[in-house]
Amino acid sequence: MAFLEIKNLKKSFGKTAVLHGIDFSMEKGEVTCVIGSSGGGKTTFLRCLNFLERANEGTITIENAFHFDAAREYTAAEIREMTLKLGLVFQQFNLFPQYSALENVYIPLQLRSKEKIRKAVPFGKKRREAIKEAEKQNRERATALLSEVGLSEKMNNYPCELSGGQQQRVAIARALAEEPAILCFDEPTSALDPELTGEVLKVIKELKNEGRTMIVVTHEMEFAKSVADKVVFFADGVIEEEGTPEEIFNSPRSPKTAAFLRIGEESF
Amino acid sequence: MSFWEIFKLLCEGFSQSCLLFLLTLVFAIPLGLVISFGSMSKFKPLSWFCRTVVWIIRGTPLMLQLFVVFYVPGMLFEIQLFGGVNGRFEAALLAFVINYACYFSEIYRGGIESIPKGQYEAAQVLGMTQRETFFHVILMQVVKRIMAPMSNEIITLVKDTSLARAIGVAEIFFVTEMKLLSKGLIWPLFFIAVFFLVFVGVLTLLLGYFEKKLSYYRI
Amino acid sequence: MKKILSVVLAVVLAFGMVAAFSSCTQKSDWEKIQEKGYFYCGITLYAPMNYYENDELVGFDTEFAQAVAEYLGVEAKFVTIKWPQKYLELDSGAIDAIWNGFTYGDEEGISRTEYVDFTHAYLENRQVIVTKADKLSTYNTKEAFAGLKAAAEGGSSGEAVAKELAGANTLVTPFDAQSSALMEVKSGMAEFAVIDYQMANAMVGKGDYADLSINPAYAPESEVYAIGCRKGSDFTAKLNEAIEALSENGTLAAIAEKYKLTNDLIANIGSDK
């Protein structure tokens, strides 16, 4: 079985069906780029995968261990556990404005550590010590992550003091903190000025080189070509075509894919 | 009456006004949050109930609510929830807390609903519980957003305390009316103005300080 | 969390309801007063009935109530109320008696016996007109007051007289207390006020009201003061019992003398019944 296995995923909002049964799989360490025109269901697909939307039908299996079946009821805690297996970087960054870059990375991390400690150590001095220890470790980890995305200078700045590219890099560091099995990007550069997209794409490339498993919804065709192991083309709520970048960009089989890529090229 | 006697009298009255003001804030600020959760609840009967209460409380004069709280329990059920001298203060406090909690709840609701969905989603994908999301992510942003309208309400409350005289709470106006105006003394009224101006002035500085404290980030 | 909150809210409400209804008792007023150990008199502040002297509440009604309380073995407490709200205060149980120069008579054309049970009358009174002293010669007939702005205590017998004199209800401004009516005349906002003789006698023409005077141009019929209790209350009978005893043993006369009210005190209260 593949590292990520999605079967017959369906989602509709009211009477509008957005995903008409998506079958998708990928292996560990792979980078998949999802392309397609707006309204094709790319973002909904990603949101279903991260449980921001609940799929109406279908199953999601990660690492053979975490299994989601839309037909079943899940408690909030179960959903949370599955969510932690995945990281998501938003188009609009969604950093917490009241926290500095470091705190943005550190606070969610520390909250999870605290939860684990509370379960393991019931109360008392031991627990306080454990929390203190976790605090130190998590701060170090947050600092390391921010250095990794090239922001060691800006650690104590607030989001409003950072450029879009810097904010998105903080968001990436934050998403990496929980060691997600799969890191998802929802059009990570669409909200950025053109001159700032480079720094974010560079970070994603570095992550690929580290061997991370990623799904990137993107409009940057050049980037998709250079970074993707597999390109998936979404159209009208189904996967119209998937293959290696060479296959998709050089010899698309579907006329829809060809049409989409042509329009894309003309506009550049 | 000597100046000092009158000054002492005014101070006593004003201390009642201040106490009413402070206790109203202490109780109404958290109660408002509970009501705002109630009116935003997905459990329809509760949200319907809370919104109706808010509608009634905001839609009727505070003066009337004071009368209802103080006089109605005794007249309908023959029980003295609030009898005598001190009970008047408690009755006024109850009416003020309910009234202001309803106003606060609407300010909170506006603040909470104005937080972008992305903040909740970011918290969710980071594995935060609903509780953690509210207390670690949303609350501080709401506080910043509602500072201006809350400051307004709080300053209005300072002056609204004088309404408590309607049920005979010995606050500054009641004292002045009953003990000083009745003796033909007008000038204490100017003193009342000074009391209120100074109090609101201090409050304005305090609220401004908080606002400044929160200005390190932009939403 | 919202679910927990909704449950908490529901529980609080339910408790409130239960508390409100379960504490209903069938005890009589007098039993309740005995249990509490005190009763509340609703007053407004004016001389000579209830007023402050050196931070202490004194006055004829003050001492009278204290004497009655002592006789009954309880304590008298006083609370300043807004006079127009006196029946609300009484009916809601916030006070136990209206004891503040309360005139036995009509209010707005309705007999006050509709609202309260009166005890025996204890003091003679009448309404008097107060104007500025320098206007005494201008307003020297009953007719001279027609069309003038007037002030009176809302819901007092003086208000009725003022309306009759001014000739139009809209000319009479009702106030929370008799003393406020005097303020109006002093400040020139009203040409005349109609208040109790007892109060006018004690306050007008001296101190802050030195420039005011009782205007003898018109003297309404005399009236009497009595204490108002809740309708159907057994407290009325207890008060009457005390008043009769205090009248007989001279306590009441002594208090009256102290406040120079001897001439107006009704003698041998209750003996004719």
State how far the Cα of B55 lies from the Cα of A226, in Å rounded to an integer: 60
Chain B residues within 8 A of A179 when measuring between CB atoms:
none
Which of A57, A33, A53 is closest to A45 using CA atoms? A53
Q: Examine residue C1 and state whether it is found in any structural domain, yes or no.
A: no
User: Coil, helix or strand for B111?
Assistant: helix
Q: How far is B71 from chain C (nearest CA, A)?
A: 5
The single residue listed with the structure tokens 């404005």 is A97
Q: CB burial class (10 A; 0-12, 13-18, 19+) of residue B88?
A: buried
User: Which residues partner with C222 through β-bridges?
Assistant: C126
Residues C51 and C165 in one domain: no
DSSP-derived pairing of the beta strands C56-58 and C51-53 = antiparallel
DSSP states of B158-196 = HHHGGGGGGGT---HHHHIIIIIGGGT--THHHHHHHHH
Phi and psi at C212, nearest 5°, equal -105, 160
Residues C137 and C259 in one domain: no
User: Coil, helix or strand for C41?
Assistant: strand
Q: How distant is the alpha carbon of residue B165 from its chain centre?
A: 16
Which structure tokens are listed for A151?
A: 């922001």
Residues C40 and C109 in one domain: yes
Average pLDDT, 10 consecutive residues per value, chain B (219 residues) = 83 92 96 95 94 96 91 75 70 95 96 94 93 93 93 94 88 82 74 92 94 85
Q: What is the mean pLDDT of chain C?
A: 85
Q: How far is A167 from chain B (nearest CA, A)?
A: 14
- What pLDDT score was predicted for residue C181? 87
User: Which residues partner with C76 through β-bridges?
Assistant: C39
State how far the Cα of C250 lies from the Cα of B195, in Å rounded to an integer: 49
Q: Which residue of C has its CA nearest to B130?
A: C1
> Predicted confidence band at C45 (pLDDT cuts at 50, 70, 90)?
confident
Chain B residues within 8 A of C33 when measuring between CB atoms:
none
Residues C40 and C99 in one domain: yes
Residues C34 and C117 in one domain: yes
- What pLDDT score was predicted for residue C241? 93
Q: CB burial class (10 A; 0-12, 13-18, 19+) of residue B19?
A: middle
Neighbours of A219 (CB within 10 A): 15
Q: Which of B119, B125, B131 to mutate to test the interface with A (most CBs of A within 10 A)?
A: B125
The single residue listed with the structure tokens 């016996």 is C113
Residues C160 and C106 in one domain: no
CB C85 within 8 A of CB C155: no
Q: How far is B193 from chain A (nearest CA, A)?
A: 39
The amino acid occupying position A32 is: T
- What pLDDT score was predicted for residue B82? 64
- What pLDDT score was predicted for residue A72? 87
State how far the Cα of C230 lies from the Cα of C126, in Å rounded to an integer: 24
Q: What is the mean pLDDT of chain B?
A: 89
**Residues C46-68 as b or e (16 or more Cβ within 10 Å = b):** bbbbbbbeeeebbbbbbbbbbbb
User: Which residues partner with B213 through β-bridges?
Assistant: none
> Predicted confidence band at C273 (pLDDT cuts at 50, 70, 90)?
very low
Contact criterion met (CB < 8 Å) for C91 and B88:
no
Q: What DSSP element (H or E) covers C252? A: helix C251-258
In this predicted model, what pLDDT tens digit does every residue of C74-127 receive, in sequence order? 999 999 888 888 998 898 888 999 999 898 888 777 889 999 999 999 999 888
Which of C188, C164, C184, C186 is closest to C173 using CA atoms? C184
Residues C36 and C90 in one domain: yes
State how far the Cα of C173 lies from the Cα of C159, in Å rounded to an integer: 9
Q: Examine residue B196 and state whether it is found in any structural domain, yes or no.
A: yes
Contact criterion met (CB < 8 Å) for B84 and C40:
yes
Residues C216 and C139 in one domain: yes
Residue ranges of A 20-39 with Cβ closer than 8 A to chain B = none
Residues C113 and C171 in one domain: no
Assess whether pLDDT exceeds 50 at residue C178: yes
The single residue listed with the structure tokens 């990794």 is A148
Phi and psi at C147, nearest 5°, equal 80, 0
Q: Which CATH number does the domain housing residue B101 bear?
A: 1.10.3720.10
DSSP-derived pairing of the beta strands A66-69 and C192-196 = unpaired
Contact of A48 with chain B, judged by CB distance below 8 Å, is answered with no
Assess whether pLDDT exceeds 80 at residue C28: yes
> Predicted confidence band at C3 (pLDDT cuts at 50, 70, 90)?
low
Q: Examine residue C18 and state whether it is found in any structural domain, yes or no.
A: no
- What pLDDT score was predicted for residue A142? 94
Q: Examine residue C91 and state whether it is found in any structural domain, yes or no.
A: yes
In this predicted model, what pLDDT tens digit does every residue of A220-260 receive, in sequence order? 888 899 889 999 999 888 999 999 999 998 888 888 888 88
Spell out the residues 6+ positions from residue C241 whose beta carbon is closer than 8 angstroms to its own.
Answer: none
Cα Rg, chain B, nearest whole Å: 21
Residues of chain A with pLDDT under 50: 268
| CA dihedral over C87, C93, C95, C101, signed as positive or negative | positive
Which structure tokens are listed for C200?
A: 């006018």
Domain range enclosing C171: 126-222
Q: Examine residue B172 and state whether it is found in any structural domain, yes or no.
A: yes
Residues C77 and C189 in one domain: no
C202-211 contacts: CB < 8 A, separation 24 or more? C202/C46, C202/C47, C202/C48, C203/C46, C203/C47, C203/C179, C204/C130, C205/C133, C207/B183, C207/B184, C208/B183, C208/B184, C208/B185, C209/B184, C209/C182, C211/C132, C211/C133, C211/C134, C211/C186
DSSP states of chain A = --SEEEEEEEEEETTEEEEEEEEEEE-TT-EEEEE--TTSSHHHHHHHHTTSS--SEEEEEETTTEEEETTS---HHHHHHHHHTEEEE-TT----TTS-HHHHHHHHHHHHHHHHHHHHS-SSHHHHHHHHHHHHHHHHHHHHHHHHTT-GGGTT--GGGS-HHHHHHHHHHHHHTT--SEEEEESTTTTS-HHHHHHHHHHHHHHHHTT--EEEE-S-HHHHHHH-SEEEEEETTEEEEEE-HHHHHHS-SSHHHHHHHHHHHHH-
Q: Examine residue B181 and state whether it is found in any structural domain, yes or no.
A: yes
Report cis status (omega within 30 of 0) of the bond before B149: no
pTM attached to this predicted model:
0.79
Contact criterion met (CB < 8 Å) for A98 and B122:
no
Q: Examine residue C187 and state whether it is found in any structural domain, yes or no.
A: yes
Residues C134 and C211 in one domain: yes
In this predicted model, what pLDDT tens digit does every residue of A132-161 receive, in sequence order? 999 999 999 999 999 989 998 999 999 999
CB A172 within 8 A of CB A208: no
Q: What DSSP element (H or E) covers C47? A: none
Assess whether pLDDT exceeds 70 at residue C43: yes
Chain B residues within 8 A of A81 when measuring between CB atoms:
127
State how far the Cα of A105 lies from the Cα of A110, in Å rounded to an integer: 9
> Predicted confidence band at C6 (pLDDT cuts at 50, 70, 90)?
low
Residues C250 and C206 in one domain: no
State how far the Cα of B122 lies from the Cα of A83, in Å rounded to an integer: 11
Neighbours of B204 (CB within 10 A): 13
DSSP states of B27-81 = HHHHHHHHHHHHHH-SSHHHHHHHHHHHHHHHHS-HHHHHHHHHHHHHHHH---S
- Give the count of domains, chain C: 2
User: Which residues partner with A16 through β-bridges?
Assistant: A13
Q: Which of C33, C75, C77, C80 to mutate to test the interface with B (most CBs of B within 10 A)?
A: C80
The amino acid occupying position A194 is: P
Q: Examine residue B219 and state whether it is found in any structural domain, yes or no.
A: no
What is the dihedral angle through the alpha carbons of A88, A89, A93, A97, rounded to the nearest 10 degrees?
A: 50
User: Coil, helix or strand for C169?
Assistant: helix
Q: How far is B194 from chain C (nearest CA, A)?
A: 22
Domain range enclosing B155: 3-213
The single residue listed with the structure tokens 């609701």 is B109
Q: Examine residue C217 and state whether it is found in any structural domain, yes or no.
A: yes
Q: Which CATH number does the domain housing residue C216 bear?
A: 3.40.190.10
- Give the count of domains, chain B: 1
Angle between helix axes C235-248 and C60-72 (nearest 10 degrees) is 110
